[in-house]
Structure 1
Amino acid sequence: MNNLACGVTAAPPVPGEATMREENYWKRALRTPVTRRRTLALGLAGGILIACGDDDDDGKQGNGGGDGKLPPGFEPVPPGISKTLVDYRKKYSSYRFADLAGQADGPQSGGTFRYSTYPGVTGWDVTGPEGDTLASFASAHFNGLLTFRMNDKENPDNLYPAVGDLAQSWEQKDDLTVSFKLHQGVKFHDTAPVSGRELTSEDVAYCFKVYQGTQDPTKGIAQQPIFSEVDKIETPDKHTVVVKFKAPAAYFLNSLMYPVAVIFAKEAFEKPDIFKKTPIGTGAFVLDKWDPPNVHSGKKNPTYFRKDPVSGKQLPFVDAFEAPMLLGNHPQEVAQFRSGNLDTLWVQGKTELDNVVGSVNGALGQVEIPPPGFQPYMVLKLDKPPLNDRRVRRALQMAIDINGIIDSVAEGLGAPGYAQDYSYFGRNWPWSIEELDKLGAAHKYNVDEAKKLLKEATGAEKGMGRPLKVMVSTIPSTGTDVAKLMIGYWRNAGIDVVLDEYGVQDLTRWSTALFAKQWGDLDGVFAGFAGPGMDPDQYAYGPLNSKSPRNFFWVNDPKLDKLTVDQRRLFKEEERRKALEEVMKIDLGEAYRIWGVNPYKLSARQPWAFNVLDTIHAWSNVGWGQKSNEVVWINQKLKKA
């Protein structure tokens, strides 16, 4: 069946109550394995789309199928990786993109790149509390010193060597000194009050000092951990920046790839109204429209300095990008992709991927390993009884049937949740439940033990002795489905869960709760950002050190304070991996955050769109992969065919 969605939504529940359909679902779930179709159709609390389609995997491959080979380095397959995962990684590997017939026609210049996005921020202040969220938007308009490559010919998959962005070259002179040489002739956008002037080393130094947060601790929330060890920033000439550290900072260079450390102009920053309203950077695109909840669009920067690393041609290739804000309306997204009005689509589920690729002529699918930095999980108010008791937290974790969620909602294309960059550990696949539990986690499903721990900790005959109030999204997505199932498992363990729900137009309320720690009477907040970053430090020091401004997670553990600092001093990878493993053991053992399932990233692209792909950390183009907008090109011959 090719119809992807009926366009029917479940009626919103009464806040704090399980709907009758949820109750019926859980009665059946205890007896029968759950399919994705049944999970959605049973109405897991508010706004989830009812899927239409068969439970089996009979979707056509279309032109999107692969050659039956895993990407380089992904064999041998470790224990715990299912045949479904292996088959779909083979079937939809991005490594085949380099050899597509249409590559011979390009890269071509011209056209408009179209994709769907969301109204995730209230403005463009990259130094404010929305800095982490702006990483998904800012790189279309700004540059940092370093970046990563994302194109069909040089797809790094899960290996991220740093490449220059504003920095033409750099040198790690010793453990305490890094020197950067900037490209010459780089200009800011021709927008007042900056008006197209040339970027210099003074601009970089100014931004780095703002990001340190020493003059104003409310600025640079997302960036402060990156710059916390910086002692001095020197500018010996117009195009040289020297950074000196108080202590060794093994994390620093990789962290600069995270697209929050972008360079802006002082004169824009000093005018808060302009700085929040207009992104005036040096990036490939000048802002055309930022009109939530309608559209985000940009036009080619005529003075952009970068060349394509593969062809040597001037960037960007497209004349413009246009991103309607459709992420809260997935049926509309799918319809727009089917009609050719969107060049790429974030696909929700294996069945949908097969259906879309099999029914849209020439469409190409991709299945990418799950990102550590973006996955559904729950943040807890750790200083609030009884959540300040380790037994209660571990009970919440082990009450969740992670494998059941992988088999149902993720249709087999998921991994146990946890936020650390497994690729840094030389892994091409995420950790299994068994591997995480050996590190101290409580990921193995055991509802009887969960009930026992709750009774020991609270004395309550049922649940945790009082309701658990959590904030959760109603925006239709695989992540929302995972969160709803986690809630269902807690209710099955006897916990009274009260819901505070929000939709796509109310994202700022969620953002304020999580990032500004304005929780009110909440016990938990479901989140997606888990870290995030391009270096393991951003999953260790950032969220787990009590002194980190990015610790939005109420973690205050002296042992973690020491270990998270120790690991960032180590330049030898093997030593650092061991130190990070000790961090993981405490974090997982204490169950400071409650993990669900990390779905693999599924996407489809039109046959005429090139350099549109996902990697472990960056997605095109809903995410940090907006940086790759500058290398996307449209094959006009294929589009007209």
Structure 2
Amino acid sequence: TFRLRIHVAPVHFDPQQTVAFPTMQAMSFTHSRLVKVKAGSSVKPGTQPLEADLAESWTQPNDTTYIFKLRRGARWHAKPPVNGREVTAEDVKYSYERFLLPANPNRGLLEQVDKIEAVDRHTVKFTLKEPFAWFLDSLASPSTWIIAKETVEQYGDLKRPESCVGTGPWMLERYEPNVRCTWVRNPNYFIPGLPYVDNVEVSIETDPATALAVWLSGRYDFAPEYGMVVRRSDLEAAKQRKPNLQMQDYIVVFGGITWAKFDQDPFKDLRVRRALQIATNWREVLETNAWSQGRGAPNPAIPAAFKDWSLPIDQLPPESRRLYDFDPQEAKRLLTEAGHSSGFKTTLETTAGYGPDYIDAVQVTVAGWKKAGIDAEIKLKEYGAFISSTIFGKFDKMGGGLFGGWTDPDSYLYRYFLPGQPLNASGVNDPKLTEMIKLQRRTFNVAKRREMIYDIQRYIAQHVWALYGPSVSAVAAWEPYVKNFWPNIGHDYGGRLMVAWLDR
């Protein structure tokens, strides 16, 4: 049995009706996609190599057509209402048509899809509206799970735990709300021999101190924070108690993001946005953070964890690069120039659901703004309410959260900055930026696309279309008897644990 901890419970079990990461984490044990991100000790954190999942192979006859051949003999879990029947092309067609319905806040990920056809029992054809170079990466996202029509018909949606019936490596055996999830090995999983471990028990523990004590006492096989991470502030104690711990440093994909009503005063003035950015003390956020203790990286629009796509801030133009050097006096000068010589008051809506370390970072950020004369009152919302309102722009003046849930760089541009996208919470509508983002999506040449994405990050930094906090450099840790495990960015816990085993 693998034993681990998560800090917040799934909001429910319907991956097509939420963007909440705990739901996607849970689905990674029970469900499959057409393609997935490779896992195991050969995969470097921050890279996303793709491999087959339910699709056995695929071809791309032209820029807008993809044909997938499904694995023969892949079966649904032997649970009602599907009772272990074979997965067919109709299941894939149904899953992605439901994915594209307006109720799914993640639908922007695949909205380039024009039609889906079940060519025969084991062949699915996707036709896109226009070329989309990130299509396969998008299909590997931890939100594109393939679901069964019968479960939706029986339950109306997939929110209840009993509707969590997939094709994945484990089956949900028991869910005790806000206490634990227990998964049991799927004996009919379509990859022979996998998963190696019979059971996975995930404890839901909101308090970091309690979780640390439980881990140190030997009741978890992995460090207790998100991504199997141990806070650096606890690292020495952990090494003393567990001298043979396996460890790996990596930049986590998450970082803070602040949205504001950019079409309203005072935020529509670029000088005000620049003042907010230069008054954001990202170095102090890293220094005071228990995970990082000063280690990490500032983020442009693409999180620094994406080694191949994120633009290092020293490659920004000088006037944008300067905004990453904390300077409250320069912020005051910019505010005065914008007609706010005595600063201004605002509100910042966020949630404590991301844990106490996140709230510490928010308080450091707000304290930096205050030194520049920007007085932001923090308003906390319950996580479920926050994830269904604030992140979609339903806030009064400013909203703050974490960004970093996706494994494809394109989502951080298209889904945050295109007019009409649900997650464009600040209401950005910049025709030049829109055109730049659309052009890189149509560019299959990777080197050219990378340069375009670097240019987009320079442009977003110049116009301060979002305020980004840093990403921490964290330490993943696991017991020496856990073999072939390696951490990576993204919510695919099931994928990474499926190829690992216990050797006690």
Corresponding position: 1:379 with 2:259: yes
Mapped pair 1:608 → 2:481: yes
Whether 1:241 and 2:124 are equivalent positions in the alignment is yes
Residue identity opposite 1:404 in structure 2: E
1:344 is paired with a residue whose SS is: coil
Partners of 1:416 and 1:431 within 8 A in 2 = no
Q: In structure 2, what is the equivalent of residue 529 of structure 1? A: 403
Q: Distance in 2 between matches of 1:594 and 1:348?
A: 27
Deviation at 1:581, TM superposition (A): 2.4
Counterparts of 1:532-551 in structure 2 under 5 Å?
Answer: 532-551=405-424
More strand by share: 2
Flag the 1:554–1:460 CA change in 2: closer, same or farther, 3 A: same
Q: How far apart, in 1, do the equivalents of 2:296 and 2:274 lie? A: 22
Q: How far apart in 1 are the matches of 2:47 and 2:369?
A: 37
| Residue type of the alignment partner of 2:176 | D
* Greater Cα offset, 569-578 or 413-422: 413-422
Q: Secondary structure at 1:403's aligned position in 2?
A: helix
In the alignment, the residues of structure 2 paired with residue 535 and residue 198 of structure 1 have an alpha-carbon distance, to the nearest angstrom, of 30
Matched, 1:221 2:105: yes
Q: Gaps (5+ residues) in structure 2?
A: none
The residue aligned with 1:509 is: 385
Secondary structure of 2:6's partner?
A: coil
Q: CA RMSD in A?
A: 2.3
How far apart are the structure 2 equivalents of 1:173 and 1:601? 42
The residue type equivalent to 1:254 in the other structure is D
Q: Label 1:322 to 1:133 Cα distance change in 2 as closer, same or farther (>3 A).
A: closer
Q: Secondary structure at the match of 1:481?
A: helix
Q: Which amino acid aligns with 1:624?
A: D
Instruction: Give distance in 1, aligned partners of 2:500 and 2:155.
Output: 32
Q: Is 1:411 the equivalent of 2:293? A: yes
- In structure 2, what is the equivalent of residue 628 of structure 1? 496
Kept after mapping to 2: 8 A contact 1:357/1:364:
no
Paired with 1:547 and 1:467, the residues of 2 have a C-alpha distance of: 25
**Corresponding position: 1:344 with 2:222:** yes
Q: What per-residue deviation string (whole Å, max 9, x for no partner) do you get for residues 47-86 of structure 1?
A: xxxxxxxxxxxxxxxxxxxxxxxxxxxxxxxxxxxxxxxx
* Structure 1 residues 612 and 507: alpha-carbon distance in aligned structure 2, compared to 1, 3 A threshold: farther
Equivalent residues in 2 for 1:462-501, closer than 5 Å:
462-464=342-344, 466-473=345-352, 476-501=355-380
Over the matched positions of the two proteins, sequence identity in percent amounts to 28
Q: Is the 8 A contact 1:380 1:387 kept in 2?
A: yes
**SS at 1:448 equivalent:** helix
SS of residue matched to 2:48: coil
> Structure 2 residue aligned with 1:266, among 121, 140, 149?
149
| Deviation for aligned residue 1:258 | 0.9
> Deviation of residue 395 (structure 1)?
0.7
Q: Which has the larger radius of gyration?
A: 1
Which of 323, 327, 331 does residue 450 from structure 1 map onto? 331
| 1:589 aligns with one of 455, 462, 465 | 462
Kept in 1: contact 2:303–2:471 (CA 8 A): no
Matched, 1:395 2:275: yes
2:237 corresponds to which residue? 355
Please state if 1:321 is matched with 2:210. Answer: no
* Contact 1:125–1:131 (CA under 8 A) maintained in structure 2: no
- Distance, in Å, in 1 between the alignment partners of 2:165 and 2:434 is 37
Query: Is 2:17 the counterpart of 1:128?
Result: yes
* Corresponding residue pairs, total: 495
Q: CA deviation at 1:181?
A: 0.9
Residue 282 of structure 1 deviates from its aligned partner by 0.6
Match of 2:167 in 1: 282
**TM alignment of 1:18-417, pairs within 5 A:** 112-130=1-19, 134-152=23-41, 154-213=42-101, 217-218=102-103, 220-222=104-106, 224-273=107-156, 275-277=158-160, 278-307=163-192, 314-326=193-205, 328-345=206-223, 346=225, 347-371=229-253, 374-409=254-289, 410-417=292-299
1:424-443 aligned within 5 A = 426=308, 431-436=311-316, 438=318, 440=320, 442-443=323-324
C-alpha separation in 1, matches of 2:422 and 2:157: 25
8 A contact 1:376–1:595 mirrored in 2: yes
Name segments (4+ residues, structure 1) moved above 6 Å: none
> Aligned partner of 2:272: which letter?
V
Residue of structure 2 in register with 1:88 after alignment: none
Residues 7 and 207 of structure 2 are in contact (CA less than 8 Å); yes or no, is this contact kept in structure 1?
no
1:374-430 CA-partner distances (Å, limit 9, x unpaired): 212222232332122222111111012323333443323111123416676747xx6
- Within 2, Cα distance between the matches of 1:113 and 1:198? 28
Q: What's the CA shift for 1:628?
A: 1.8
Secondary structure of 2:374's aligned partner: coil
SS of corresponding position for 1:275:
coil
Measured after TM superposition, the shift of residue 127 of structure 1 is: 1.1
Rounded Cα–Cα distance in structure 1 between residues aligned with 2:73 and 2:20: 28
Q: Mark the CA change 1:552 to 1:269 in structure 2 (over 3 Å): closer, same or farther.
A: farther
- More deviation in 533-542 or 335-344? 533-542
Do the aligned partners of 1:344 and 1:606 also contact (CA within 8 Å) in 2? Answer: yes
Q: Shift of the alpha carbon at 1:288?
A: 1.9
TM-score (norm 2): 0.92
The verdict on how the C-alpha distance between 1:121 and 1:391 changes in structure 2, with shifts beyond 3 A counting, is: farther
Task: Map Cα deviations across residues 568-606 of structure 1 (whole Å, 9 max, x no partner).
Answer: 000001221222223212321221221122101322211
Determine helix, strand or coil for the equivalent of 1:125: coil
Q: How far off its partner does 1:634 sit?
A: 1.4
Q: Relative to structure 2, which stretch is displaced further, 468-477 or 535-544?
A: 468-477
Aligned to 1:10: none
Cα distance in 1 for partners of 2:109, 2:71 equals 23
Instruction: For residue 551 of structure 1, give the secondary structure of its aligned residue in structure 2.
Output: coil
Deviates more, 1:432-441 or 1:183-192: 432-441
Please give the secondary structure, in 1, of the residue aligned with 2:358: helix
Equivalent pair of 1:288/1:299 in contact (CA under 8 Å): yes
SS in 2 for 1:306: coil
Inter-CA distance 331–208: structure 2 relative to 1 (3 Å threshold): same
Shift of 1:289: 2.4
SS of the residue 1:377 aligns to:
strand
Using the TM superposition, give the Cα deviation of residue 357 of structure 1 relative to its aligned residue in structure 2, in angstroms.
2.2
One-letter code aligned to 2:298: P
Cα distance in structure 2, aligned partners of 1:501 and 1:571: 43
Answer whether contact 2:298 2:469 (CA < 8 A) is retained: yes
SS at match of 1:391: helix
The residue identity in structure 2 corresponding to 1:197 is R
How many angstroms apart in 1 are the aligned matches of 2:319 and 2:89?
45
Question: For the residues of structure 1 that align with 2:319 and 2:120, how far apart are their CA atoms?
Answer: 49
Shift of 1:144: 0.2
Q: Secondary structure at the match of 1:135?
A: helix
